[in-house]
Structure 1
Amino acid sequence: MQSKKLLTLFDLSMIVISFVIGMGIFRTPVSVAANAQIPELFYLAWIIGGIFSYFGALIYAEIGSRFPVTGAYYKIFSTSYHPSFAFAINCIVIMTIAASIAGVTLIGSEYLANVVLPAEMRTDQNKLIIAITGILVLFGVNLLGLRTSSKVQNIITLIKIALVLTLICAVFTGGQVQSIPAVFKTASGTPPGWWDYAKTLGVCMIAINFSFTGYSQTINLGGEVKDAKKTLPKGVILGLILIITLYLLINYAYVKVIGFEQLKTAQSIASILAGKIFGPAGYTILSVIIFISVLGFVNVNLLSIPRSMFAMAEEKVIPGVFSRKNSKTDVMSVSLATFVALIIATLFFAETFDKILNYSIILECIGTASSAATLFFLRKKTADLDTKNIYTIKWFPLIPVLFISFTIFVGISIYLADPVTAISGLLILAGFMVIYFISKLFNKKPSTLNAD
C-alpha cells in the first residue's frame, strides 16, 4: 500500500524542530559552561555545533531528496551497508528513543505535578500516571492518522517556539548580572596550549552534539511528504536554521541574565529566566514550557519510529506484522502500539534504561557518521536522477567530509572522557549484529532433498 502524501513544508519544518528541541537546551548549557571555563569557548562551542549541524542538515536534505521513502533511516543503512548493521543501528535507535521518551516524560510529569497537584499527592505513582496518560493521549492522536497527528505536532511546536522566544526576552527585562572575568585553567596548572583548548572543545561538543541530534530521523517520513524531493530538503534546512538561531539566542540570554560563573553551577537555568519575566509565577510558566516540550518530543517520535519498524518489516528483518497498515487511516498500528508499549514498559525501569542512554552516546556518533556517509553510495546509485529536480550539496564532498570528521572527533572525545562506557556501547552494537545473524540462521528454511 503506497503512503499518502500529506506533509507540507510547514509540517516538516515543525517536525524537525520538535525532533531537536526537547529538554536538552534547558539543561546542557550548564555542563557546557562548566567544561568551557571561559565564555569565549562557551560561545565558540555552540557556534561550531550550529555550523556542523547545518552541514548535517544539508547532507540529510540531499539524502531525503534522493531517497524519499517511508522508514528511510533504516533503508539508507540496508542499501549502503550490510543489513546486520542497519538492523543493529535501528534497534538501538528504537530502544534509546523509548528510553529518552520515558525519561523526559517522567521529568515533565514531575514539573506538572508540582504545579497541578497538592504536596501530599506528588508521589512517584501519581507522576507515573501523568506520564503514562500523556503518552496514551498522543497514542490516540496518532491512531487517527498522519493528518491529525501532524496538525497536533504543529500546534505543540509553535507553542514551544513562542515560549522559548519568551524566555529569551529575559535579556530585556533588566537585572542582568555583572560579568566576572573567567580564567581557563589546565589540570597541571601550566599555561594552556592549543591542545588544551581543543580537548575542552571536544568535551563541550559531547553535550552540544546531543542537544542538536534528532533531525536525521526526519527522513523516515519522506514517503509521506508532498513533492518530497523538493519539500524535504527545504523543511530540514529551514528547521535547522531556526533551531540554531534559538539555541544561540537562549544561550546568550543564560549568560547575560544568570552570569557565566553562576551558569556553571546553576540548578534550573530556564526557571531563572522565567522568574525574571513572570516573577513568582515563573516556575509555573516553566513547568508548562517543559511539559509542552515533552509532548512535542513524544509525538514526533511516535510519528517517526513506527516508520523505521515498518521499513525493517518490509525487508523481513523483523516479523512482517510490523508492516501492516490500517486501511482507513494508513497508520502502522502494530508498530505504533508496540513502540508505545515499549515506552510504557521502560517507564518502570527508568534507572536501568538511563544506563543504556549513556552507552548510546558513542553509538549516536557512529550512527550519524555512517548515515551521513551513505550519501556517497546514494550519489552513485541515483546518478540517473535529474539534478534539477532534487537537492544537491554545492560543496561536495567537502561538507560531508567535514561533517563526518567532526562527528568522529566528538566520538573520540566521548571515548577519552569515559572509555568504559564507550566500549560498552560498542559491545551493545556488536550484540545486536550477532542477534541479526542468529535470527537469520533460525529463519532459514530447511532445504528439501530431491527424491529421484
Structure 2
Amino acid sequence: MSIKPKLSRFDLTMIVISLIIGTGIFKSPGEVAIRAGSTPLFFTAWVFGGLITLCGALTFAEIGARYPNTGGFYKLFSYCYHPAFAFMINWIAIISTTASVAAVALIGAEYINPMLLPASLQNETGTKITTIAMVIIVYLINFLGIKMSARAQNLLTLFKIGMIAMLCMAVFKNNAPSQALPVIIQASNPLSSFGLSLVAVFFTYTGYQQTINFGGDIVDAKRNIPKAILMGIAVVIAVYLAVNFAYYQVLGMIGLQQNTALAAKMAAVLFGGVGAKVTSVLMFISVLAYVNVNMMAIPRVYYAMAEDGMLPNIFKRVNPRTQVQEFGMTFLAASILVILFFVSSFSQMLNYSMFFETISLSTAAMAIFILRKRTKHLNNTGIYTIKWYPFVPLLFIIVYWFVTLSIFVANPMGALYCLGAFAAGLLIYYLTKWSKDRKGNPAEINL
C-alpha cells in the first residue's frame, strides 16, 4: 500500500518549526558567545546564520517542489547522484538521528523528573524509566495515524513557541542585569572564531531539510512544500533572534558565556523560585515535540530506501487507513529504546554531527543544478522557483563548505573519523548489493 497525501500546509509548517527548534536554542547561544568572543561577532553569527539558512530554505523549497517524494532526502541523492552515495549519506544520518533522539529524550526526562518522581528515583534509573515511557507514549500517538501525529505536533509546537515568547518577556523586567559586563575574549583570529561560531549556529538552525521526506504525505506538494518551508523558517529566525536578544539583555555577554542553564536563568528572572518548574515544562515539551517529529520523519526514509531495494520490503508496508508504517515506526522505537541502554557511548559521535550535516546539506543543495536540467518540463507551470538563482544556492553551499573546513581545521582527527564512517557506508552498500545480486531477485526480499 502506497502513502497517500493527508497533511496540510499548516501541518507541514509546524513540522518545519519542530524539526529546527529543539533543545539547541537553550544551549547553543552560550557556545556561540564563547566561540565568538565579542558582542558584535555574536550577533553577526546569528543574523548571518539566519540569512544563510533562509538561502538553504529557498533552495530546498524549490527542490521539494521539483521532486516531491516520500523519503525525499534519500530519493534526492539517489536520483541526482547515485544510489551508493544516497545510501552512504543516509545510513549515517539515520544512525546519528536515532541516537540524537535517544540522547535528547534523556535530557527531557532529566528536566521533568523532579516534578514527576519521588526523590528516591531522582537518579539514572528514574531518568531512563521516564525516557522509555516518553518514547512509548509518542509511539502510541503516532500509531493512531499520520493526522493524529500531525495534530499532536501542531499542539506541541504552538505551545513551545508560546513558552519561548514568554521567556523573551524577561527583557522588560527591571531587575535585569546591565549588559555592559566584561566579556571573555576568545583567543583566536576573527575568521576562525566566526567559522566556529557558525558551527553552533547552524546546529541550532538545521533540521528543515528533512521536510522533503514528507513529499508523499502533503496535499498539493509542489505548492505547499515551498510555502510551508518559507513560513516555518521565517518563524524560526524571528524566534531565534528575539530569544538571543533577550538572553543578551538579561544576562549580558559574560552571563551567556558562563551560564549553561540559559532558559532556567531567564525563567528565574520572570517567575522567581518557580522558574525552574517553568523551565522543566518548557524543555520537556521541546523534547516531546522533537521525538514526535522524528517518529514521523525517519520511517519515511526507511520507506524510500526500501523502494530502492536497500531495505526489506516490509519497511514499505503502510496501513491503508492510518497511513502509518507500522513496522518501520516499531523498528525506530525499538532502536531508540536499545540505544537508551548505551547512549553514553554515542556522545562523541553526536559531537561530530555537524560535520555530517554540512557535507550532506551542501551536496543536497547542489542537486538543484541537476534538477533544473532534468525537470525543465516543470518550468512555467506555477511551481516555486528561486529568485536570484544561482546566487542563493551558491552562497549557501560556499558558506557550508567554509564551516566544514572550520571543523576540519579545529579537529582534523575527528573529521577523519567522520569521513571513515562515510566510507564504511559505501562499503556496506556494495556488500548489500552484491548479496542481493547473488540471490537474483532483490525486489522480493522480505523479513
Q: Give the TM-score range, shorter chain.
A: over 0.9
Equivalent residue of 2:352, what SS? helix
* 2:10 paired with 1:10: yes
Aligned match of 2:85: 85
The alignment status of 1:383 with 2:351, answered yes or no, reads no
Partner of residue 444, structure 1: 437
For 2:100, the equivalent position in structure 1 comes to 100
Aligned to 2:162: 162
How far apart are the structure 2 equivalents of 1:48 and 1:161?
22
Larger deviation: 117-126 or 277-286? 117-126
Distance 1:173 1:351, change over 3 A: same
1:286 matched residue in structure 2: 279
Using the TM superposition, give the Cα deviation of residue 181 of structure 1 relative to its aligned residue in structure 2, in angstroms.
Answer: 5.0
Cα distance change, pair 184–125 in 1 and its aligned pair in 2 (3 A):
closer
The alignment of Structure 1 onto Structure 2 pairs a total of residues equal to 440
Provide Cα deviations, 1:280-337, integer angstroms capped at 9, x if missing partner. 0000000000000001000111111100100000110111111111132221111111
In 1, Cα distance between equivalents of 2:239 and 2:439: 58
Return closer, same or farther for 1:446/1:239 CA change in 2, 3 Å cut-off: closer
Q: Which string of whole-angstrom CA distances, capped at 9 and with x for unpartnered residues, describes residues 35-89 of structure 1?
A: 1111110000000100000001101100111111111010000001121110111
Alignment check: 8 A CA contact 1:313 1:320 kept: yes
Unaligned residue ranges in structure 1 (runs of 5+): 188-195, 448-452
Q: Is the 8 A contact 2:299 2:329 kept in 1?
A: yes
- Decide whether aligned partners of structure 1 residues 446 and 210 sit closer, same or farther in structure 2, where only a CA change above 3 A counts: closer
Q: 1:358·1:421 contact (CA, 8 Å) conserved in 2?
A: no
Match of 1:239 in 2: 232
Q: 2:414 aligns with which of 418, 421, 438?
A: 421
**Deviations along 1:332-376, whole A, 9 cap, x unmatched?**
111111111111111111111112212332111111001111111
Shift of 1:183: 7.2
Q: Distance in 2 between matches of 1:89 and 1:267?
A: 32
User: Are positions 1:430 and 2:431 aligned together?
Assistant: no
The aligned residue for residue 129 of structure 2 is 129
Q: For 1:328 and 1:388, how far apart are their aligned partners in 2?
A: 32
Partner of 1:347: 340
Mapped partners of 1:351, 1:298: distance in 2 = 18
**TM-score, normalisation: structure 1:** 0.95
Residue of structure 2 in register with 1:41 after alignment? 41
Matching residue's letter, 1:295: L
Residues of 1 paired with 2:435 and 2:324: CA distance? 30
Number of the residue aligned with 2:327: 334
Equivalent residues in 2 for 1:16-27, closer than 5 Å: 16-27=16-27
1:92–1:360 Cα contact (<8 Å) kept: no
* Partner in structure 1 of residue 314 of structure 2: 321
1:110-149 deviations in Å (ceiling 9; x for gaps): 1111222232221211210111111111111111111110
Report SS of the residue matched to 1:264.
helix
Which amino acid is 1:64 matched to? G
In structure 1, C-alpha distance between the alignment counterparts of 2:439 and 2:75, rounded to whole Å = 28
Closer/same/farther in 2, CA of residues 353 and 274 from structure 1, 3 Å limit: same
- Tell me whether 360-369 or 244-253 shows the greater mean CA deviation: 360-369
C-alpha deviation, 1:399, in angstroms = 0.7
1:225 positional shift: 0.8
- The answer for the alignment partner of 1:31 in structure 2 is 31
What is the match of residue 52 of structure 1?
52
Match of 2:321, SS state, is coil
Q: What is the 5 A alignment of 1:76-225?
A: 76-178=76-178, 179-180=180-181, 182=183, 184=185, 186-187=187-188, 196-225=189-218
Distance 2:148 2:118 in 1: 34
Return the alpha-carbon distance in structure 2 between the equivalents of residues 183 and 288 of structure 1: 32
**CA shift at 1:182, angstroms?**
3.8
Q: Which amino acid aligns with 2:343?
A: A
Q: Equivalent residue of 2:166, what SS?
A: helix
Q: Which runs of 5+ in 2 are unaligned?
A: 441-447
Deviation string for 1:362-401 (max 9, x for gaps)? Answer: 1111110011111111111111114342100011111111
Q: Report Cα offsets for 1:233-290 as digits up to 9, x if no partner.
A: 0000110011011101101111110111121011311101101111100000000000
Map of 1:190 onto structure 2:
none
The residue type paired with residue 204 of structure 1 is S
Q: Which amino acid aligns with 1:249?
A: A
Q: For 1:113 and 1:183, how far apart are their aligned partners in 2?
A: 34
Counterpart position of 1:191: none
- Equivalent AA in structure 1 for residue 64 of structure 2: G
RMSD across aligned positions (CA): 1.4
Cα distance between partner residues in 1 of 2:439 and 2:16? 46
Q: Give the distance between the partners of 2:2 and 2:77, measured in 1 at CA.
A: 22
Cα distance in 1 for partners of 2:39, 2:175 equals 19
Counterparts in 2 of 1:238 and 1:279: CA distance versus 1, 3 Å: same
CA contact (8 A) 2:2 2:318 kept: no
Change (3 A) 1:185 1:219: closer
- Seen in structure 2, the aligned counterparts of structure 1 residues 289 and 185 have a Cα distance that, compared at 3 Å, is closer
Partner Cα separation in structure 2 for residue 271 and residue 184 of structure 1:
25
- Tell me, yes or no, if the aligned pair for 2:184 and 2:254 is still in contact at 8 Å: no
What TM-score, normalized to structure 2? 0.96
Change (3 A) 1:312 1:154: same
- Aligned equivalents of 2:293, 2:312: Cα separation in 1: 24
Identity level (%): 41
Alpha-carbon distance, 1:10 to partner: 1.0
- Displacement, 1:446? 6.4
CA shift digits 1:2-31 (9 cap, x unpaired): 422211111111100000000100001111
